[in-house]
Amino acid sequence: MSAAPTRVLLLHGLWMVGLTMRRFAQGLAAEGFDPVVLGYPSITGGPDAAAEALSTALGNGPGHVVGHSLGGLSALRTAARSPALPVGRIVCLGSPVCGSGAAHAFARVPLSRFYFGRAAGILHSGCVDWPAGVEVGMVAGCVPRGLGALLARFDGPHDGTVSVAETRAPGLADHVVVDASHSGLLLSRAAMRQTAAFLRSGHFDHGADAHGDGRRFG
């Protein structure tokens, strides 16, 4: 791509709809970006449905991608399987790229397969592979509020659903931790500012917004 895109495609997480990304989209718009929220059936369609929506949108021109939880995993898998897509930078919000311990724990609950639907596989395995030319940043939360905290035993800081350790992968261009729960990342001004910083430059602003656990890779 000859110039960095300003269009940003947003993918929501499990059991959510496009509307849940609206506040985050407004935050990015205030930062000068052109956000487009993509909805997809996260349970009945899973990451394949997200990939279809993302591929269709990128067929209309280049764009950055921001994905919350499952949305981030889906974006990474799409980039890995379709390296020719004009993807700019990708920001994952609380995505368990190393696999979700909470998903593993919840799998022992009867009928849990209906809760995860077609998203179960990628939530268990995570996604740590994407094209070398795609810069990926991770915004993780460290406020331990969420259902996952009741089901999984986390070692170290977590956002109530995903541990900070589960969001770290060697291929990340940058990683930052902010004070937010898993769903709270979608309302966090700090997460919005950090995302905008990464989309502009390929790295986060490790200043006032960043929790002490945040650090850059490489």
CA dihedral (118, 42, 80, 176) in degrees, to 10, reads: -120
The pLDDT, as a whole number, for residue 174 is 98
Neighbours of 57 (CB within 10 A): 17
Mention every residue, 6+ apart, whose C-beta is less than 8 A from residue 175. 137, 138, 140, 167, 168, 204, 214, 215, 216, 217
What's the token pair of residue 93? Answer: 């919000």
Contacts of 133 (CB under 8 A, 6+ apart): none
The per-residue pLDDT for 176 is: 98
Residues of the chain with pLDDT under 70: 1-3, 107, 109-114, 147-152, 208, 211-218
- Here the tokens at position 206 are 């490790």
User: Do residues 39 and 17 lie in contact, with contact meaning Cβ atoms separated by under 8 Å?
Assistant: yes
Quote the pLDDT of residue 213: 44
State the pLDDT at residue 83.
95
pTM of the model: 0.92
DSSP run (H or E) holding 120: helix 120-125
pLDDT 10s digits, 108-120: 766 666 678 899 9
pLDDT, tens only, 53-68: 999 999 999 999 999 9
- Cα 156 vs. chain centroid, distance in angstroms? 20
What pLDDT is recorded for position 17? 95
Placement of tokens 């949305």 in the chain? 71
Full DSSP string of 72-118: HHHHHHHHHH-TTS-EEEEEEES--TT--HHHHHHTTSTTHHHHHGG
pLDDT of residue 150: 63
